[in-house]
Amino acid sequence: MDPGPGGPVPLSPTHVTHLATVDTAGAARVLNDIRSATLSGRRTPLAPRPVIEESWSRMLRSGVDPDHDFRSGLLPPEEVRRRRETTRLRHVLPVLREGLLSVADVAHHIMVVADDDGRVLWREGSSRVLRKADGTGFELGADWRENVVGTNGVGTPVVVRRPVQVFASEHFVRSQASWTCTGAPIKDPRDGRLIGVVDVSGPLDTMHPATLAWVDSVAKLAESRLRELHLASLEQLRAVAAPVLARLTGRALVVDRDGWTAAVTGMPYPNRIALPKSPSPGRRWLPALGLCTLEPLAGGWLVRASDEPEPQGATRVVLDLAHPRRWTVTVSGDAGTWVHELSPRHAELLYLLALHRSGRSAAGLAQDMFGDPGRTVTVRAEMSRVRRYLGVFLDHRPYRFCEDAEVEVLLPASPGDLLPHSTAPAVLEARASAETG
């Protein structure tokens, strides 16, 4: 409704975000009123932003106390050191520092880098803000998962797998309301798995809407650096593979420890093959090749395909979605058992196929995923990637699991933890239906 000349202008979440750049205190008061009304069950003229409202709902379900800090304890220094030495985040620290720290110091921010468990591994930036962070438990080794300390710029991006800005009383826990925090996930380009989050945090008066794009762009630069390092390692493995493959006849390939192909002989070149979760030397069944022999190489595996007929029998497919941040598909049959960890998008697709055993067209999946049946190109591209490791167990036209496959889906105890990152209409509907019914 038009308020008319001189009438009050209705606020939207976007208006509040921009209001914060010119009247920080005013925007903070508005958000505090929204938070208070929402938590007390009263109607509010302005709803929280969707990403914040969804996070608050998760907090209420998990029993996080909005009025009291809860700190689960710091990791011992030796454990922080061990995690620093083993995470791939260590390779991109120079990129993050160059992209964020010079500006962060000037603007009185700090940069925080946490692993995929939400544990703070690095903190750098303004000494004044670092001291303030100590007072809220934002310390090295601290646990900043969303279900521990509430809606925040580290734990919430871990859950939703996308950049999130949390301003003032958008934080679920009251003691964090004097902060503005912006975090972006960093994913391993080899498999799409989350490896951590980079966050820029500071006092309320440092809030700016452009911070979200800035932090996300630096996170993307970090992922590009990881991609460069992976390509360099494949090149090194290729040099090792060349003389090995030259002596072989038949179908064979050399892959890295994640299944990415360095070199092949006697067969078409696959970009990647699915390996067992914990590969070991010997005869194994692989989805793309059937029966194979695996032999270890420096930095990877020599995979020699067998021409023996594959065992035939019933197949059992278990789609495990019980964990809110890691999802797997396990295939068992006469040829053995293997496990593949799923990306968020592939977890969504396989869940939808499990719901529709009779099958879904590309347009149907596009409607389920995006609310737009026209986005079939995206669906077909993703299904092509899924078929690289599940091809023999999937039919197409329409897309579906094979009729002779027994499919089981393991769901989380709380419906709200079903693929919590997902904004797919069909997944949102499934969550809502489970919660009400």
* Mean pLDDT confidence for 123-148: 93
Predicted confidence band at 284 (pLDDT cuts at 50, 70, 90)? confident
Nearest residue to 184 via CA among 148, 131, 220, 230: 220
285 plus 198 within the same structural domain: no
**pLDDT per residue as tens digits for the range 251-278:** 999 999 999 999 999 999 999 988 887 8
324 plus 298 within the same structural domain: no
Where does a domain end: 228, 257, 279? Answer: 228
Tell how strand 282-286 and strand 327-333 pair up. Answer: unpaired
Percent of the chain with pLDDT strictly greater than 70: 91
280 plus 339 within the same structural domain: no
434's enclosing H/E stretch is helix 425-436
Partners of residue 293 on adjacent β-strands? 283, 304
Tell how strand 164-167 and strand 120-125 pair up. Answer: unpaired
* Amino acid at position 171, single letter: H
- Is residue 70 within 8 Å of residue 148, measured between CB atoms? yes
69 plus 213 within the same structural domain: yes
**pLDDT per residue as tens digits for the range 20-40:** 666 678 888 888 888 888 888
Q: Look at 62-71, 188-197, 418-427 and tell me which has the smallest mean pLDDT.
A: 62-71
pLDDT over threshold 60, residue 14: no
* Mean pLDDT confidence for 138-165: 95
**pLDDT per residue as tens digits for the range 365-402:** 999 999 999 999 999 999 998 988 887 788 888 999 98
Q: How far apart are CA 215 and CA 198, in angstroms?
A: 8
Q: Is residue 242 part of a domain?
A: no
Q: Is residue 51 part of a domain?
A: no
More confident residue, 278 or 184: 184
pLDDT over threshold 70, residue 184: yes
Q: Is residue 45 part of a domain?
A: no
319 plus 294 within the same structural domain: no
Where does a domain end: 305, 335, 351? Answer: 305
Q: Residues with Cβ < 8 Å from 285, sequence gap 6 or more?
A: 291, 292, 310, 335, 336, 338
Nearest residue to 333 via CA among 406, 401, 385: 406
- Is residue 362 within 8 Å of residue 380, measured between CB atoms? yes
Q: Is residue 154 part of a domain?
A: yes
Nearest residue to 376 via CA among 367, 385, 388, 386: 367
* Tally of domains in the chain: 3
**pLDDT per residue as tens digits for the range 40-65:** 888 877 888 889 999 998 998 888 99
Domain limits for position 90: 60-228
pLDDT at position 10 is 42
400 plus 330 within the same structural domain: yes
Q: Residues with Cβ < 8 Å from 412, sequence gap 6 or more?
A: 321, 322, 323, 324, 418
How far, rounded to the nearest angstrom, does the alpha carbon of residue 141 sit from its chain's CA centroid?
21
348 plus 299 within the same structural domain: no
More confident residue, 12 or 43: 43
Q: Is residue 50 part of a domain?
A: no
pLDDT at position 403 is 86
Q: Is residue 325 part of a domain?
A: yes
